[in-house]
Amino acid sequence: QQQVKQSPQSLIVQKGGISIINCAYENTAFDYFPWYQQFPGKGPALLIAIRPDVSEKKEGRFTISFNKSAKQFSLHIMDSQPGDSATYFCAALSMNTGFQKLVFGTGTRLLVSP
């Protein structure tokens, strides 16, 4: 129940295309869903996050879509650039429990070809 399933494992997108990464969860107590971006040799950096009271959040080229009934959320990267090539992790946690333990997906390695 604590798992977050992430797909695909890897993704190759042409420059200018749309990158889509999907995640699914089981625990309905999760109420905060961040996405982290990790470049080689670096720690994960928070990219964008959403709470279940909204169905979509957009920041620049990055959009999270959230489907509460399906318990799924996805990251869309519009106009993908070579600089977006990184590993992306979705995560989930339950803030209401007061014990903010992030559960991570398995990661998606994105390569944007020039």
Chain contacts with another protein (rule: CB under 8 A): 32, 34, 36, 41-46, 49, 89, 93, 95, 99-102, 104-107
What SS3 state is found at 5? strand
Task: Find, among 90, 94, 88, the residue nearest to 52 by Cα.
Answer: 94
Shortest approach of another protein to residue 76 CB, angstroms?
21
Q: Between residues 14 and 106, which has the closer beta carbon with respect to another protein? A: 106
12 to 20, 34, 43, 105: CA distances (angstroms): 10, 22, 22, 19
Shortest approach of another protein to residue 93 CB, angstroms?
8
Q: Between residues 17 and 107, which has the closer beta carbon with respect to another protein? A: 107
Shortest approach of another protein to residue 111 CB, angstroms?
15
Q: Between residues 17 and 104, which has the closer beta carbon with respect to another protein? A: 104
Q: Which residues are 103's β-sheet partners?
A: 92
Q: Are 22 and 74 in contact (CB under 8 A)?
A: yes
